[in-house]
């Protein structure tokens, strides 16, 4: 097991990230395809394209659609409600970039959603930001690694 003196190797970090991606892919997938219908909330269309490349097939919502945050929060509440997903975990997977702007957006949306009793799942962002901080700081910048993640996931 890695220690602070011996951090995870590049390969180990990608395997950890791939496992988290795989779990979120399953949670995002439509119920009729063995998933839990958990939507992802990301910043923009480039994030959506990247996530599709690595296997996300369910609903992906973007915050950059010309709406203010209050309208977006109201939309999410009306569309998804405050119930947990069928697996007992928070329904909405919040995945903003892990740069300064993304941190601000993540915190803002988390606070606003939770103020409406909508629990959110931040596990994917937490894992990606920790495991991929050397390679990238945004969701869309995962794209060059999509083939690697697809290969790892297929072997899991």
Q: What is the tens place of the pLDDT at every residue in 112-127?
A: 999 999 999 999 999 9
The answer, yes or no, to whether residue 3 has pLDDT greater than 50, is no
Kindly report, residue by residue over 49-99, the tens digit of the pLDDT.
Answer: 999 999 999 999 999 888 999 999 999 999 999 999 989 999 999 999 999
Pick from 37-41, 83-87, 92-96, 136-140: least confident = 83-87
Q: Check residue 72 and give its pLDDT.
A: 95
HEC letters along the chain: CCCCCCCCCHHHHHHHHHHHHHHHHHHHCCHHHCCCCCCEEECCHHHHHHHHHCCCCCCEEECCCCCCHHHHHHHHHHHHCCCCCCCCCCCEEECCCCCHHHHHHHHHHHHHHHHCCCCEECHHHHHHHHHCCCCCCCCHHHHHHHHHHHHHHHHC
Q: Check residue 129 and give its pLDDT.
A: 97
Q: Which fold has domain 10-155?
A: Dna Topoisomerase Vi A Subunit; Chain: A, domain 2 (3.40.1360)
């Amino acid at each position: 097991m890695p220690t602070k003196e011996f951090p995870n190797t590049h390969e180990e970090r990608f395997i950890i990230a791939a496992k988290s991606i795989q779990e979120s892919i399953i949670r995002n997938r439509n119920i009729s395809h063995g998933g839990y219908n958990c939507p992802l909330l990301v910043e923009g269309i480039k994030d959506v394209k990247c996530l599709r490349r690595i296997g996300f097939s369910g609903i992906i919502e973007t915050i950059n659609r010309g709406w203010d945050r209050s309208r977006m929060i109201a939309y999410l509440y009306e569309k998804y409600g405050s119930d947990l997903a069928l697996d007992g975990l928070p329904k909405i997977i919040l995945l903003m970039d892990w740069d300064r702007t993304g941190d601000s957006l993540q915190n803002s949306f988390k606070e606003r959603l939770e103020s409406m009793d909508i629990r959110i799942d931040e596990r994917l962002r937490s894992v990606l930001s920790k495991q991929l901080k050397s390679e990238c700081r945004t969701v869309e910048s995962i794209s060059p690694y999509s083939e690697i993640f697809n290969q790892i996931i297929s072997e899991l």
